[in-house]
Structure 1
Amino acid sequence: MLRLLVLTGFFFSAHAAISCYGDNGKPVDWFIIYKLPNHPEHGWYEYGMKYKYQDAFTNGWKDGAHLINDTMGALGKTLQQLYNSQSVKNEDVGYALYNDQPPSEGNNSASYGHTKGVVLLDKEQGFWLIHSTPHFPPPVNQRYSWPKNGIRNGQSFLCVTYPFSQFNTIGKQLQFNHPLFFNQFIPESFESDLPDLVKAVKDKIPTSSSWTQQVTLTSAQGKNFVSFSKYGRFGDDLYSGFVAQALKRSLLVEFWPNSQGVLSSNCSMKYHVLNINNVTFAGGLHFHSQHDHSKWCVSESLTGEEQWTCIGDMNRNKGEQKRGGGTVCTSDPVVWKSYRALVGGWEPCND
């Protein structure tokens, strides 16, 4: 049995299934959040806590109904399922929190993947939350809060509700991502059904010689997502070396460009990868990628039958070529349209 901390929370009613929760306070199949960077024209603190939101019913971006640190918002309410009850032991709920920059700085290790997320599930269903925020979320014996260093820059979140059976496949992907888990517990009763999730949490690495894996995950409501994961031994960029060629689409990629060894836009292969340098929302809100810690990409072409949007946890730099990580993609045309419209400029290729 895998337990690092005493579990806080998980007094669910007999009918309350674990799920992503929307900005309206109700369970949703999936949601996407774009936490905005702070901006001097709108008040440094408050604006750094605002976000844009979308799910299957919003038809694109909407202003977040709350601030990002509010437990009534989509992110806070979803994660409140970790924190909102008295401290108990519950053998029917599993969780795994991981972050290459965990809340406790002393645990940082570049030998793990550059990957951040939360898995929470019971025997019926659960959610996989993929995000870009360092030092987040707090361990389950604390309470929901937003890290102070998360205010300044933009951040990205994808939450999808999956049936129980999908979490073994998610476990396989996590083995390639090679996360630094900082708080986890998988009940013994899950181990026979989810052996690959157990392996991931026990820090087992993949045995595949390709060091990459692409799988289709199906949400609780039947929506397909495509997950791309790479182990560090792949030794190449996630986007140009794997995702663009697999999707057969040139990609525009948004990532944190302030790290060392940033890779230039790459047009050397059939499907190109171009670095976004400016993000523009409707209504005049815009910011440079230097103020954005989110990680997402969108297919470049404005024509074609199938367009893609991916949200993940990897940058484009030389160091991360040798680290695990991944991204999860959807061919939802509304999501693609909403993200493609954000691209305010990109770095052209030199070759």
Structure 2
Amino acid sequence: MDFAYAGGVLATGPAETTSDPAALEGGGWWAVAVTFEGKVTCVRFTDVRRAPHPEGPWSAPGAWTSSLDRAAYTAGVRRIRDEIADGVVYQANLCRVLSAPLPAGAGMAGLGSRLARGNPAPYAMTLSVPGLEIASASPELYLARDGDVVESRPIKGTARTAAGLLPKDRAENVMIVDLVRNDLGRTAATGSVTVPELCAVEEHPGLVHMVSTVRARLAPGTGWPELIAATFPPGSVTGTPKASALALLAELEPVPRGPYCGAIGWVDADARRGALAVGIRTFWAEDGMLRLGTGAGITWGSDPAGEWRETELKAARLLEVASGDGAGQGLDQR
């Protein structure tokens, strides 16, 4: 079955697919996915209703491998710290992609329903259409829109408990909030950008996050195409300055991120509402493989071993849910 599921809403009956975000200013209910590299997919569905998450077959994937092993990842952290010392960047988000063979017959409906039960998330979404199979348990809001009001809730700072958050986490969060303010300001009415909440601590399954809220009112004549163009990729998964961080990450990360760290969500063009998550805590199927990204924000105060452990923490519970066998433990051996 081709479907999208988000926020208790099940959408079926795909009627139109486009790569043009201008369609989101027309009519209808759309599922939206944008890869980190900028490939846009918008799918309009005709049957949209409140329903439980669809069920489907699922079985544990094969052995996981990582695009960066521990040595390569910690070397990348040290390289970013060198670039910070040289004034090239202030912060950069270094990521790796985990891959495992996808069992025959396993589908995103089965994985998405497991995630909904085992790792509930405020911006979770499952999308299954030809050429695009995603099951996301994202806790992070990239862009929400209600009429002309837009909001972003960047996450920076992750630990097992609130007591484990460090001064480095707050400094990193404040830096990214400043970046998001500037990004939103490109499409906002003058003087409308505010920060209603700074560095709040939120509890999520297995960990806590430090989260801020940035809000603005759109300038006349702007909408989803302008918003995405001005703010993508999300600041929390790139770095600051954004252009310099992206150039550095292109050197350090050996494989594309794909849907991971992109945007995943829905737009109700008739109601002028929508919510796009940052594509973290996100599985996707590609070329017979199941993939999952994980990463950490690197600052001058980063410890390479500690940042590797943060990537482990973020991935562990998701791999356990997907495999049902404790696969999230001891990832450094994989």
TM range (shorter): under 0.3
TM-score (norm 1): 0.24
